A and B are shown apart, each in its own frame.
Chain A
Amino acid sequence: MTNKDPRTDIPKGAKPSEQIMTDPSKASERMRAGSMTLTLVPWVVAAVLLAILPQLFTNNSALTIMNQMSITIVFALAYNMLLGQGGMLSFGHAVYAGVGGFACMHIMNMSDFFASIPLVILPVFGGLFGMGLAMIVGSFSTRSAGTVFAMISLGVGELIAACSVIIVAFFGGEEGVSGDRTYAQPFFGVEFLQQEEVYYLTAAWVIISAALMYLWSRTPVGRMANAVRDNPERAEFLGYSSRWVRYYSFVASGFFAGVAGGLFAINYEILTEENLNTASSGVILLVTFLGGVGFFFGPIIGAIAFTLLQTVLSLSTELWAFYAGSLFLATVMFFPGGLAGLIMMHVPAFKLGKAGKLVMPYIKTLLPGAIGILGLAALVEMTFHYRHAATGDDEMTIFWTTFDSHSLMPWIIAGALTLIGLGIARATAPALKDAWSEANSAGGAS
């Protein structure tokens, strides 16, 4: 079902780094040296950025949210090892993260053992348990890809999620299992009492895991995962068993999912049924897809965007899920490459040195478009407020403006903003289209 259709599943150019960073005319020697430095740059920048972020955002909630992003990043990258790299659609991947996390919680509660290890290595245990489970499940689920794999993953996911309330000894029932991370052996004197210390631990693990997963995609088995995804039969006639290639990808993905589970355990010090259930598995699918499965860094963007949606947007509006749903529909309908695909679309224009030509048309179209969409959102919020707010409670606040939702004026303003904004966007769209093709065509005067 999923990976038999070569035209579509994976957008063309699934390996951005190679395409972008190598110049076809150069000899392979120079190319290797060049790509080495080029590949290192984003990692260094990311590491530096992660290091200084806490200086910019000092409050605990920002740290907590950034930690949540980091965990989601690791998990989404692990998930993309299956979906993007290996063409396997899983509906139950949360269980590997969950089981890894539960194992870490149990280790936290083994006071003697836990006191003898530094907290920083705990995610390794999570990874090992996630990997162990993946080895068992993978032994029968990776025999084929497509629907069979997807449905087995769904079934196994449901089973293990159901076990979480039945097998109380390991999963702790509805209350889950909790522990205290500070009982670990201090790591160079750090006891991880404060959120900031946990932040650095998590950030370090994100860099390490992301780097390892990136490197994995450059190994023989990682390369063959792509080959099997695109054309399992051809891969078989190259001497590789599709099944075992999938199996190794699956096990590796299970390991990193388990690492994400371990990081979760450290951050929240509690694991519950929600870490295993199908909703979590579905969320990670959405996150990965939103970011873009065709690019290594896609899930990273997806994780950041989704965490913001879920955690921050839900602080502002009860309708966050409505907007999230709309965003997913819009993404899948108009940008199937995800947010990463959207970004990478602009690479040719940059390479041609014509990206500048897009700036003005973008402003002309996207700005009114954004205003129109915000106007639409305002209308939605006002309708919601009108319908569901308490009697007499006519005042509402959106976009830092407080007004009476039962009077006509705000409706006219919001409606007009929507119409005008979207109208202008529509009117200027052809110009943007022209500019786009202009910016993406090689040569040409001007």
Chain B
Amino acid sequence: MHAEKLQHDFEPKIVAFVCTWCTYAGADLAGTSRMQYPANVRVLKFPCTGRIDPVFILRAFQKGADGVLVSGCHPGDCHYMAGNFHARRRFAAFRALLGFVGVDLERLQFSWVSAAEGGKWVEVVTELTEKVRAMGPMKEFKALEDEEQWSGALNTPELREAFESIT
């Protein structure tokens, strides 16, 4: 069926934070329905989107995620009644903050995927993966990881340049 597999130069790392009751079950349904989607996504299961701390998203980007998906129950469907309502406000705020410090919000996707929406899971994951693939690696946080205060760096760009100008 898919004999020809496309080779990509860049395979993005996508991290999905999902709630166990809706989206995790939706992803299970996609599996039992044998739907196909890119293998880039790594799923972390939470009881509820209400448990998902914005720090986790930040941390995922810092640890090399090129895209992050946060997904839970539709409003009103929360197993815990209100966890996703609180999460919705929290993420609205956090998203604004990340946007303001210059994170491209195209890399951060929020969705409601119910246990019955295997197809939507596939759609959301595929779309984010393809979008991020086209955007290329998330360089910002990774670059920061390698940066030092000038005094702690073993050599500085200036020095490197100076060295290069000599040899």
B partners with A? no
**Which A residues are within 8 Å of any B CB, using their own CB?**
none
